[in-house]
Amino acid sequence: MRIMMIQPNYHSGGAEIAGNWPPSWVPYVGGALKQAGFANIRFVDAMTDYIPDDVLAQIIAEYQPDVVLATAITPMIYQSQTTLKIVKEVCPQAKTIMGGVHPTYMYNEVLNEAPWVDYIIRGEGEEITVNLLRAIANGTDTQERRNILGIAFLEDGKVVATAAHPPIADLDTLTPDWSLLDWSKYIYTPLNVRVAVPNYARGCPFTCRFCSQWKFWRKYRSGTPKQFVDQIEILVKEHKVGFFILADEEPTINKPKFIALCNELIERNLGVYWGINTRVTDILRDEQELPLYRKAGLVHVSLGTEAAAQLKLNLFRKETTIEQNKRAIQLLKQNGMVAEAQFIMGLENETPETIEQTYHMALDWQPDMVNWNMFTPWPFSELFQDLGDRVEVRDYSQYNFVTPIMKPEAMEREDVLKGVLRNYARFYLRKSLEYWFVKDPFKRKYLLGCLKAFAQTTINKRFYNLKRVKYNGLKTKVELGFDESKILTREQIAQLKQAHPELTADVDFSGNISACGAPNDLPEYHGGEPDVPSMKI
pLDDT digits over 451-481, tens only? 999 999 999 888 888 889 888 877 888 999 9
Q: What is the mean pLDDT of residues 331-345?
A: 95
Describe the strand order of the beta sheet including 369-374 as a list of residue ranges: 187-188, 193-196, 241-245, 273-278, 298-306, 338-345, 369-374
pLDDT band for position 213 (cuts 50, 70, 90)? low
154-178 pLDDT tens trace: 999 999 999 999 999 899 999 999 9
pLDDT band for position 407 (cuts 50, 70, 90)? very high
Q: 328 versus 202: which is more confidently predicted? A: 328
Q: 231 versus 491: which is more confidently predicted? A: 231
Q: Is the model's pLDDT at 260 over the cut of 60?
A: yes
Please tell me the predicted confidence (pLDDT) of residue 512: 72
Q: Return the half-sphere exposure (C-beta side, CA atoms, 13 A cut-off) of residue 261.
A: 26
pLDDT band for position 534 (cuts 50, 70, 90)? very low
For 212, list phi and psi in degrees, rounded to 5.
Answer: -135, 0
What is the percent of the chain where pLDDT is above 90? 71
All structural domains of the chain with their residue ranges? 3-161, 186-478
Please tell me the predicted confidence (pLDDT) of residue 168: 92
Please tell me the predicted confidence (pLDDT) of residue 120: 98
- CA pair distance 243, 169, nearest whole angstrom: 28
Please tell me the predicted confidence (pLDDT) of residue 388: 78
Q: Is the model's pLDDT at 312 over the cut of 60?
A: no
pLDDT band for position 204 (cuts 50, 70, 90)? confident
Please tell me the predicted confidence (pLDDT) of residue 535: 29
DSSP category for residue 44: E
CA-based nearest residue to 148, from 134, 159, 138, 158: 134
Please tell me the predicted confidence (pLDDT) of residue 138: 97
**Which residues lie across from 498 on neighbouring strands?**
none
- Relative to beta strand 221-222, strand 201-202 is antiparallel
Please tell me the predicted confidence (pLDDT) of residue 229: 97
Helix axes 441-459, 413-434, angle to 10 degrees: 140
Q: Is the model's pLDDT at 517 over the cut of 50?
A: no
Could you count the other beta carbons within 10 Å of the beta carbon of residue 116? 15
User: Which CATH number is 3-161 given?
Assistant: 3.40.50.2300
273-282 pLDDT tens trace: 999 999 899 9
pLDDT band for position 271 (cuts 50, 70, 90)? very high
- CA pair distance 128, 28, nearest whole angstrom: 12
One-letter identity of residue 433? L
Per-residue burial over 467-478, b if 16 or more Cβ lie within 10 Å, else e, is ebbeeeeeeeeb
Q: To the nearest whole number, what is the mean pLDDT of the chain?
A: 89
Burial class (CB in 10 A: 0-12, 13-18, 19+), 57: middle
Please tell me the predicted confidence (pLDDT) of residue 276: 96
Please tell me the predicted confidence (pLDDT) of residue 506: 81
Q: Which fold has domain 186-478?
A: pyruvate-formate lyase- activating enzyme (3.80.30)
On the question of a common fold for 3-161 and 186-478, the answer reads: no
Please tell me the predicted confidence (pLDDT) of residue 524: 38
Q: What is the mean pLDDT of residues 206-234?
A: 81
Please tell me the predicted confidence (pLDDT) of residue 136: 98
When mean pLDDT is compared across 21-30, 310-319, 353-362, the lowest value belongs to 310-319
Per-residue burial over 266-295, b if 16 or more Cβ lie within 10 Å, else e, is eebebebbbbbbbbbbbbeebeebbebbbe
- Relative to beta strand 67-71, strand 95-99 is parallel
Could you give the C-alpha distances from 486 to 31, 72, 493, in angstroms and in order? Answer: 38, 19, 10
pLDDT band for position 208 (cuts 50, 70, 90)? low
Please tell me the predicted confidence (pLDDT) of residue 214: 61
Q: Is the model's pLDDT at 314 over the cut of 60?
A: no
- CA pair distance 139, 234, nearest whole angstrom: 36
For 96, list phi and psi in degrees, rounded to 5.
Answer: -105, 130
CA-based nearest residue to 177, from 128, 126, 224, 104: 126
